[in-house]
């Protein structure tokens, strides 16, 4: 069962959303809020020919779990936000406020069990899930799909380095100079004042403040104070995050955590779909192949939620 909803953390930015409920239920159901990865993404998290959040919402509903998904604020109001905030845009305005508003909608829905609401964060959303919980979400547990405990700068630089390895030798020198320039810009962020960071453009319309603000909230600060259940999943053919730098680093970081589940999926990519190429240079060719989120991922998430 699908209902149109509006997520509105900020009255100037009402967001179209969808509440998906199991077709038949006699008791209050557990529920999730789906939090996007990076970029201006719609409510289905449409990436190429695929719709990750639609697949998750529909699949979980069949397994007895409700969900909310909604347009990302930068998708619906990108130009307006840049005009309003200019260099002051951070993940708080882009992601966190709206995720908390969606969680509150679920908490106030009489068909939902308010004590069994979870965050499913994909990529950047997974990175931010612990912070969303801390800054107003207050959910029952966190599901981190293809997230990273690294800084966003590290991820961007590592992706660039990996991409360079796949270039012809004649192209590598120029690309390496560009990456070095980006590295220097990132290195300078730490020493910047807030004002300077909000005035410094790194690339495109992205300012240094976006990174500086995020780095003030490292993952370890959240997982050291709260002990809520966490489910961490990744595909082993994911070329946007890696087994070694991300999945295994989560394992190390959370080795003493009391309630954490790790699941690595053979053959799946960043979208939790079958990897066709498995290289960064072919990533958009891969994402333009219509697929569905792998059924085993849906089943494992549902089983984990229903056990809580």
- Least Cα distance to 143 among 129, 131, 132 occurs for 129
Average pLDDT over the chain, rounded to an integer: 93
* Confidence at residue 177, expressed as pLDDT on a 0 to 100 scale: 79
Coil, strand or helix at 219: helix
Tell me the pLDDT tens digit for each residue of 261-282. 999 999 999 999 999 998 888 9
pTM of the predicted protein model: 0.94
CA distance 250 to 240: 16
- What domains lie within the chain, and their CATH numbers? 2-151+208-306 (3.40.50.1820)
**Whether residue 146 has pLDDT greater than 80:** yes
* Mean pLDDT, residues 237-253 taken together: 95
Structure-block tokens of residue 244: 């070694």
The residues that are catalytic are: 123, 238, 270
Please give the distance of CA 301 from its chain centroid, rounded to a whole number.
16
* Confidence at residue 249, expressed as pLDDT on a 0 to 100 scale: 95
- The residue ranking higher by pLDDT, 251 or 158, is 251
Report the relative pairing of strands 29-35 and 112-122 from DSSP bridges: parallel
Coil, strand or helix at 272: coil
Tell me the pLDDT tens digit for each residue of 105-116. 999 999 999 999
Tell me the pLDDT tens digit for each residue of 31-67. 999 999 999 999 999 999 999 999 999 999 999 999 9
How many residues are given for the chain?
308
- 191 confidence band (pLDDT: 50, 70, 90): very high
């Amino acid at each position: 069962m699908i209902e149109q909803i509006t997520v509105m953390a900020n009255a100037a930015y009402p967001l179209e959303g969808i509440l998906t409920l199991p077709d038949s239920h006699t008791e209050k159901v557990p529920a999730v809020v789906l939090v996007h990865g990076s970029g201006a993404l719609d409510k289905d998290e449409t990436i190429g020919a695929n719709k990750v959040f639609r697949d998750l919402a529909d699949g979980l509903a069949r397994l007895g779990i409700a969900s909310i998904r909604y347009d990302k604020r930068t998708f619906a109001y990108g130009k307006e936000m840049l005009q309003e905030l200019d260099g002051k845009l951070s993940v708080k305005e882009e992601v966190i406020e709206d995720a908390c508003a969606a969680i509150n909608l679920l908490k106030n829905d009489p068909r939902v069990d308010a004590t069994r609401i979870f965050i499913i964060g994909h990529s950047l959303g997974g990175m931010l899930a612990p912070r969303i919980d801390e800054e107003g979400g207050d959910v029952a547990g966190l599901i981190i799909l293809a997230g990273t405990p690294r800084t966003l700068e590290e991820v961007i630089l590592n992706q660039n380095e990996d991409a360079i390895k796949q270039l012809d030798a004649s192209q590598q020198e120029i690309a390496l100079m560009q990456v070095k320039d980006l590295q220097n810009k990132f290195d300078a962020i730490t020493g910047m004042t807030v004002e300077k960071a909000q005035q410094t453009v790194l690339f495109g319309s992205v300012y240094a403040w976006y990174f500086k603000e995020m780095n003030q909230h490292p993952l370890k600060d959240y997982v050291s104070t709260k002990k809520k259940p966490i489910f961490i999943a990744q595909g082993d053919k994911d070329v946007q995050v890696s087994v070694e730098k991300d999945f295994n680093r989560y394992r190390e970081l959370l080795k003493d955590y009391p309630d954490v589940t790790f699941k690595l999926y053979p053959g799946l990519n960043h979208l939790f779909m079958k990897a066709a190429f498995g290289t960064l240079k072919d990533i958009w060719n891969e994402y333009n192949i219509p697929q569905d989120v792998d059924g085993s991922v849906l089943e494992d998430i549902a089983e984990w939620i229903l056990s809580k």
